[in-house]
Amino acid sequence: MAYLELIQIEKHYDSFHALKSIDLQVEKEQFVVFVGPSGCGKSTLLRSISGLETVTSGRIVLDGRDITSMHPSKRNVAMVFQNYALFPHLNVFDNIAFGLQLQGLAKADIRRRVERAATLLHLETMLDRKPKQLSGGQRQRVAIGRCIVKQPKLFLFDEPLSNLDAKLRVRMRVELLNIHYETRNTAVYVTHDQVEAMTMADKIVVLQDGRIEQVGSPLDLYERPVNKFVAGFIGSPQMNFLEGRGSRANGGGISFVADGLGMLKLPLFAEGLKTDQALTVGIRPEHLELEPRSQASQVKAVVNIVENLGGETYLHAEVAPEIPLIMVKLHASHGPSRGERVVLHFPADKIYLFDAEGAAIPAKLLN
């Protein structure tokens, strides 16, 4: 039996269907990330686990105990919020200790737990400070410390880094993972940032419109997306898509035609491909090549925008007026200039195919 089980969870707000047939299993000590666009239901699902939202139907089981109808205070879970939720009139020690004081623990036990959490979070010298004397990252660590001292069965994080600047977010990601490795707690983490999901998760749960689209390791979702939505959401920069129509080509392979692009011959075999079928071709910016190193299809393009980031360069290239700019990620500090003509090579083993409904079409290289 899984450590945390969500069984056919449904959530309605009057006529709005927020969660739809959610089934999920989380193993003990896993770091699981819920990811998806705004309004997809990830925070609602997290709040349902915590008890802050009541599910319409379904069951939530934690460590073998059905907690579906339990009061939040009885579930033995701890939640870190986006806005920290610290008491401004209490110092760091008392903010961390607040929940333990409500439980009536002995003062010596409270001090021992708070000091251990403070050491883990590098807050030892700040226990007498008030929240207004702390930086955003320090306040977030206090909020995490308040959860750690409760020794919960499950940690819940609701977009805890979204209020921090970009540099501090990166540092806090590392600190959160170090805390997870140190405590070996089971954690469920919500974010809209797929980079956070890719770098932090043992398992990613991709949600859209209240449904789970795919569950798997970061590498599984990156390499084997089940549909166009997951393919476009996982990976940074986002996957490029070409919309068109495909047919089996004479002599093998696929003939793909997009408006303004002409015919692109793909050295791939896709079983069941119909004649003149609506088809989307996907390829990640990091897989496009200016110099072919393998079997590839090619498209002529003109560089429109160049983003030089130092260690890597992003090109935004126009292949046809009717088609959105294609992004190319180069692992180099220099590349073609704006207005320069280039040839984009699509390595056959890095091409993804999707049908009219967005479902992935299995394809393999031609011999």
* pLDDT tens profile 142-197: 999 999 999 899 999 999 888 888 888 888 888 889 889 988 899 999 998 888 99
> What's the order of all strands across the beta sheet hosting 313-318?
326-330, 313-318, 296-308, 341-347
The partner residues of 34 in beta bridges, in order of sequence, read 190, 205
**Is the alpha carbon torsion for 259, 263, 267, 273 positive or negative?**
positive
Look up residue 240 and give its amino acid.
N
Query: In 309-351, where do the E strands start and end?
Result: 313-318, 326-330, 341-347
d(C-alpha 351, C-alpha 199), whole Å: 24
d(C-alpha 110, C-alpha 96), whole Å: 9
The candidate with the shortest Cα–Cα distance to 3, out of 34, 32, 41, 35, is 32
d(C-alpha 269, C-alpha 197), whole Å: 33
Q: What is the CATH number of the domain that holds 284?
A: 2.40.50.140
Residues 255 and 228 in one domain: no
Token representation of residue 331: 């692992």
Please count the structural domains in the chain: 2
115 confidence band (pLDDT: 50, 70, 90): very high
The partner residues of 289 in beta bridges, in order of sequence, read 345
Range of the domain at 264: 240-365
Mean pLDDT of the chain: 93
Residues 130 and 22 in one domain: yes
* pLDDT tens profile 235-258: 989 999 999 999 998 878 999 999
**Which of 170, 201, 233 is the last residue in one of the domains?**
233
Residues 349 and 292 in one domain: yes
Contact 88, 130 (CB under 8 A): yes
Residues 248 and 337 in one domain: yes
Query: What CA–CA distances, in Å, run from 321 to 50, 260, 318, 324?
Result: 50, 7, 7, 8
